[in-house]
Structure formats: C-alpha cells, structure tokens
C-alpha cells in the first residue's frame, strides 16, 4: 500500500495536519491506535490561536456549536484573596477567550471536516509498530490492526503519536528532559449552580489544585510532588478528600462522591524536547517532538501550531512528490523558538510558584494586587497566553479571504 503522507497518531497535531494536507489536495493517511477519540482527562483548553485557525478553515461556527464554556481570565486563589493574574479581555482577536471543549469533541470535529476531502483516509485501531527504511531514509510505516500487520509506504512519515512516541523510539531519537517538580492527579466532583463561576488555581502551603468549571461537575487537578503518587495511594482516598476540604471548603461535603482512588487518573508531567525533529523522510511534531508542562494549558495549541506550520511548508512539495530534509530542518527552526520560549515560561512558573508551594512555603509568590491590569505585564501575558509566540496562520486563498473579512484579525 502507498500514500503520499502517513501520520501516526490522531491527537490534535496529527488530526489537524491530516485535515490541512487533505484540504491542500495531498493524499494523506492518518493511523490512530485507539478505536475512538474518547479519552477522559485530556487537555481541553482551546486558546484564541487555535480558534483563529478554526475560523480560517471555516469551522468556527461548527466549533462554537459544540458544548463549551468560555473563560477570559486566569485566576489564582491564595489563602488571602482571589487574584486575576491574566485577562484576555482586549486581546486583538475575534476570539478573546479560552474555550473549554472535551478533546474528543474537538478531534471528532477536525476528522469529520477532513473526511470531506477525497484524499483523506483515517484508519482507527491501527497501531504503528515500526518504520520502513530504504537507502538511509524513512519510507513509511508498519502498522498493526485487527487483521494483522501491514506495510504502508509514503513520501513523508509524520510521528504525531504523543509524548511516548513509538515513531520517535523507532527512529532512535531521544528527547532532552528538562524536568518538572510535580505530577497531577485528575478526578471530578459534582458542581452546584451556586458555586464560584471561575476556573482557577488554588494555592496554599504544601498544596495546589486546579479547578475547571465543567458546568455540572468540577474537573480537579491535584498537584503532588513528582513521583509521590504511591504515597498518596498508601494514605488512601480519605487523604485526597481531606485535601479537597482544606483547599476548597465549599466542596468538602461533596468529596465523598470520590469513592476510591481507582476513579483518579495520574499525569506524569514532563517537559522535554528533541534536538532534532526529523530524519530523511520523517518528521516529528506535537508532544512527540516536545512534551509540554500543563502550565498555561497550551499543549493542544502548540501541537496545532506545529501542524499548521508543517502544512504551510510541506503541502506544495508533497504534491510535487518530494520533501527534501532541508525543508524539515526549516520547519524545526520555525517551531523551535515558540517551543523553547513557552517551555522556559512554564519552567519559570514551575520553579517560582509550584515547587515552593509543594515544599510548603506559605507565600510561594508575592503577587501584585491586579497583575492583569499592569500595562506592560498585562498586555504581554494576554498575548502570550492567547496567541502564543510567533502564531501561525493557514496559508490558502480561502483562509486569507476569511482573515481579510475580519479587520480586527492579524494578516499572515
Ligand atoms: C491529563 C492531561 C491533561 C492535559 N491538560 C491540557 C490542557 O488543559 N490544555 C492543553 O492545551 N494541553 C493539555 N495537555 C497536553 C495535551 O493533551 C497535549 O499537549 C496534546 O494533546 C498534544 O497533542 P499531540 O497530538 O501531539 O499528542 P497526543 O494528544 O498525545 O496524541 C497522540 C495520539 O497518538 C496516538 N498514538 C500513540 N501511539 C500510537 C501508535 N504507535 N500508532 C498510532 N497511534 C498512536 C494516541 O492514541 C493519541 O491519540 C494535557 C495532557 C494530559 C495527559
């Protein structure tokens, strides 16, 4: 079997790249090892940068038709007060807010849009298990499905198979680890209409919890020191319920709804990136090239930005049937700065706020009264969180026309 571009992994990076290439007339096959996109406790923060991309693709109305919640500010709740650390109000974008949408809804939307193009093929329950090589270049993949093992040859192979990438391992590429002081324990508790409306980070000495308002329930992320989940497990579910009560007294009575620790899911936080994102015939993007910390909730958005940059640069050469490695190098150069700068900012927050708080510091960070209102800092945070570093735009005549129709939008 043969295709022009084979993509391993139907997460945000792989699904978006497949859509963009199919739309540009490139024959593309997307292989996803799971039977569906339904995985709980995945990132679900769609930032303005991604909302703009969806708009450029004509998918904004469909996206906003999904059940979602919007927030236009990031709030930290200390022992003393509620602090608005960043606000997206005033961001130069048609979409000055973060939309919370379950990741599976987002992926269904993107892959459904891709199905409208005849050059798109999606194979679910297809796990990439190895790479095909010829004359020192990658020339496709071996994948396994219910019927057995297959070979799929391709001009370009893309590894978008996430932080534990099999493609990366098969290519012999090893990311440089930058470390994180925490792991995250995810679980949910019922929400009542009279509860606080914000999505927020609660910080207290020795304890941190992110609470995401999902209307009928709270999705909670309890931060623990790295590698300490076994300790929490030994203490039992009561210890976790007690932490909920201490940090969020309004939820104390509802913590009983968490019956056992089998209902929680643990994210081992990693911050890493590859030195080299490519080999001849092979490209890695998204978490496979750079795992992001959950700080700022930008993982999905960076993955989407990689996909847009890759499609802009590679669709033409793919249609012509050849992708020189120099182009892959150029793509890495383009995406490296946003990756490095975002990871540096995440590591700063990890070092200055999260680590001291986990170590028990009573005042891990001295926050000014309203940081989001400070002229320079407020504007910088708004742009950094909303649009990211060097935001990408879809390059196509239709996308340019759509952007031109909205004068408040940046032009590429
Ligand atoms: C618990 C948790 C919470 C998070 N919270 C946020 C958040 O709030 N906001 C945010 O922006 N980011 C968040 N992130 C990070 C975000 O989910 C990732 O950065 C983003 O999904 C990366 O996209 P990706 O497409 O590169 O990889 P992934 O989303 O990991 O997708 C990889 C895909 O490849 C598939 N796959 C893996 N191996 C193979 C194989 N061998 N063959 C075929 N398919 C394969 C997987 O099934 C998966 O569908 C969170 C991550 C986790 C784990």
* Model pLDDT, residue 80: 85
DSSP category for residue 407: T
Q: Whose CA is nearest to atom 45 of ligand 1?
A: 9
* pLDDT per residue as tens digits for the range 84-107: 888 999 999 999 999 999 899 999
Whether the model clears a pTM of 0.85, i.e. scores above it, the answer is yes
**236, 243 Cβ separation under 8 angstroms:** no
Q: Whose CA is nearest to atom 20 of ligand 1?
A: 300
The rounded distance, in Å, linking the Cα atoms of 145 and 121 is 15
Question: 164 C-alpha to center of ligand 1: Å?
Answer: 9
Q: Which atom of ligand 1 is nearest to the CA of 163?
A: 30
* E strand spans, 251-344: 265-267, 272-273, 278-279, 282-284
Question: 252 C-alpha to center of ligand 1: Å?
Answer: 32
Question: 53 C-alpha to center of ligand 1: Å?
Answer: 19
* Model pLDDT, residue 410: 47
**321, 155 Cβ separation under 8 angstroms:** yes
Q: Whose CA is nearest to atom 53 of ligand 1?
A: 42
* Model pLDDT, residue 362: 66
Q: Output the CA–CA distances (angstroms, integers) from residue 236 to 154, 261, 262, in the order listed.
A: 50, 7, 10
**51, 109 Cβ separation under 8 angstroms:** no
Segment (H or E) for 23: helix 12-23
By DSSP bridging, strand 182-190 and strand 217-225 are antiparallel
Question: 272 C-alpha to center of ligand 1: Å?
Answer: 14
Pick from 32, 43, 158, 339 the residue to mutate for probing ligand 1's pocket: most ligand atoms within 8 Å of its CB: 43
Total number of residues shown for the chain:
412
Domain ranges of the chain: 2-177+270-404, 182-267
Question: 103 C-alpha to center of ligand 1: Å?
Answer: 9
* Model pLDDT, residue 412: 37
* Spans of the chain below 50 pLDDT: 410-412
Q: In this structure, which topology does domain 2-177+270-404 adopt according to CATH?
A: FAD/NAD(P)-binding domain (3.50.50)
The rounded distance, in Å, linking the Cα atoms of 181 and 100 is 26
* pLDDT per residue as tens digits for the range 259-305: 999 999 999 999 999 999 999 999 999 999 999 999 998 999 999 99
Residue 151, token pair as written in the block: 């070979």
* Model pLDDT, residue 317: 97
Question: 253 C-alpha to center of ligand 1: Å?
Answer: 33
Pocket of ligand 1 (CB under 6 A): 8-14, 31-34, 41-45, 127-128, 160-162, 166, 186, 267, 286-288, 292, 294, 297-301, 303
Q: Whose CA is nearest to atom 29 of ligand 1?
A: 11
Residue 205, token pair as written in the block: 């000495």
Question: 193 C-alpha to center of ligand 1: Å?
Answer: 31
Segment (H or E) for 317: helix 299-320
Segment (H or E) for 60: helix 60-64
């Amino acid at each position: 079997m043969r295709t022009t571009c084979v993509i391993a992994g139907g997460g945000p990076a792989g699904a978006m790249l497949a859509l963009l290439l199919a739309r540009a007339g490139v024959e593309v096959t997307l292989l996803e090892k799971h039977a569906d996109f339904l995985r709980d406790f995945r990132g679900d923060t769609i930032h303005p940068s991604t909302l703009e991309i969806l708009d450029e693709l004509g998918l904004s109305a469909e996206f906003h038709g999904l059940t979602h919640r919007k927030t236009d500010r990031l709030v930290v709740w200390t022992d003393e007060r509620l602090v608005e650390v960043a606000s997206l109000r005033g961001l130069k974008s048609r979409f000055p807010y973060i939309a919370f949408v379950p990741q599976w809804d987002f992926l269904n939307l993107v892959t459904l849009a891709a199905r409208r193009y005849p050059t798109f093929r999606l194979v679910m329950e297809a796990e990439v298990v190895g790479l095909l090589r010829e004359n020192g270049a990658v020339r496709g993949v071996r994948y396994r499905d219910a019927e057995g093992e297959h070979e799929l040859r391709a001009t370009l192979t893309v590894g978008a198979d996430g932080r534990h990438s099999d493609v990366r391992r098969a290519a012999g590429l090893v990311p440089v680890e930058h470390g994180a002081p925490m792991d995250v324990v995810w679980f949910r508790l019922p929400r009542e209409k009279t509860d606080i409306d914000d999505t927020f980070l609660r910080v207290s000495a020795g304890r941190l919890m992110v609470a995401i308002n999902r209307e009928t329930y709270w999705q909670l992320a309890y931060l623990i020191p790295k590698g300490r989940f076994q300790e929490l497990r030994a203490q039992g579910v009561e210890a976790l319920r007690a932490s909920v009560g201490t940090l969020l007294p309004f939820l104390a009575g509802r913590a009983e709804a968490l019956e056992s620790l089998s209902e929680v899911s643990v994210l081992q936080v990693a911050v890493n990136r590859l030195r080299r994102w490519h080999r001849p015939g092979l490209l890695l993007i998204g978490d496979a090239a750079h795992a992001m910390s959950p700080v700022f909730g930008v993982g999905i958005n960076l993955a989407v930005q990689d996909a847009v940059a890759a499609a802009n640069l590679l669709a033409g050469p793919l249609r012509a049937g050849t992708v020189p490695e120099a182009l892959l190098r150029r793509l890495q150069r383009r995406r490296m700065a946003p990756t490095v700068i975002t990871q540096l900012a995440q590591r700063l927050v990890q070092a200055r706020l999260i680590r001291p708080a986990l170590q028990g510091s009573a005042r891990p960070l001295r926050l000014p009264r309203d940081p989001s209102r400070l002229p320079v800092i407020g504007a910088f945070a708004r742009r950094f969180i909303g649009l990211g570093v060097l935001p990408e735009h879809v390059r196509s005549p239709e996308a340019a026309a759509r952007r031109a129709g909205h004068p408040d939008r940046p032009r590429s």
